[in-house]
Chain A
Amino acid sequence: NAGVTQTPKFQVLKTGQSMTLQCAQDMNHEYMSWYRQDPGMGLRLIHYSVGAGITDQGEVPNGYNVSRSTTEDFPLRLLSAAPSQTSVYFCASSYDGIAAEQYFGPGTRLTVT
């Protein structure tokens, strides 16, 4: 199993550009989440999904959209990038629930100039 995969590994955007961060898992987990990690702030939940077709907002959802059309894929869309969205983004999946043990992807380092 590949586990949780994320692409791209690195990305540089200009302010106002849009892009999609890809996330896929092959463990048949129902629960998937997106986190951002900033220095001194820990990991903060952006959006999550409890199954295909079901998504909800986390702690810091503004400026991001998600969809979950299949169990495997959970893309994160930045609508109009801002410098405040410079961060490292992690996708995670779980078998038991959003607050249960998480399996993380390798992350995407995003810089917005």
Chain B
Amino acid sequence: TQLLEQSPQFLSIQEGENLTVYCNSSSVFSSLQWYRQEPGEGPVLLVTVVTGGEVKKLKRLTFQFGDARKDSSLHITAAQPGDTGLYLCASRGGATNKLIFGTGTLLAVQP
């Protein structure tokens, strides 16, 4: 069974700092989705990466897919309090063909 490991589990930073969170797997990803979940809400899709080495940008967020498609990272530049939330990665779970989620990185950006 494919497992998605996210690191760090928790991150508390000051407004304006940069940060990177990671999603790693023991298996090759077919594609990878990144979601953000704000407190009391459901996850919202940020981006899907498909091709090894792919880089996608969404305003201050940069998503990178590893060349071997076994890892991905999310970099936030000049974090703002509105970036606070749980960041989840998800991918198709190998033979199960279902969506598997990582346990997430909980980000708190202090003003």
Binding site for B on A (CB under 8 A): 4, 33, 35, 40-45, 48, 58-59, 90, 92, 98-107
Contact = CB atoms under 8 A, between A and B. Distances in A.
Nearest to A94: B99
B98 A102 contact: no
Contacts, number: 54
B26 to A, nearest CB: 15
Which 6 residue pairs spanning A and B have beta carbons closest together? A104-B42, A99-B92, A43-B101, A42-B103, A42-B101, A99-B99
Nearest to B103: A42
B103 A40 contact: yes
A29 to B, nearest CB: 13
B103 to A, nearest CB: 4
A101 B45 contact: yes
A42 B9 CA distance: 11
State the main secondary structure of chain B at its contact with A. Answer: strand
Given A42-B88, A42-B104, A102 B41 contact: no
20 contacts: A33-B99, A35-B101, A42-B88, A42-B101, A43-B90, A44-B101, A45-B98, A58-B98, A59-B98, A90-B43, A98-B97, A98-B98, A98-B99, A99-B91, A100-B99, A101-B45, A102-B33, A102-B45, A102-B90, A106-B42
B102 interface: yes
Contacts of B88: 42-43
B93 A90 contact: no
A68 B48 CA distance: 28
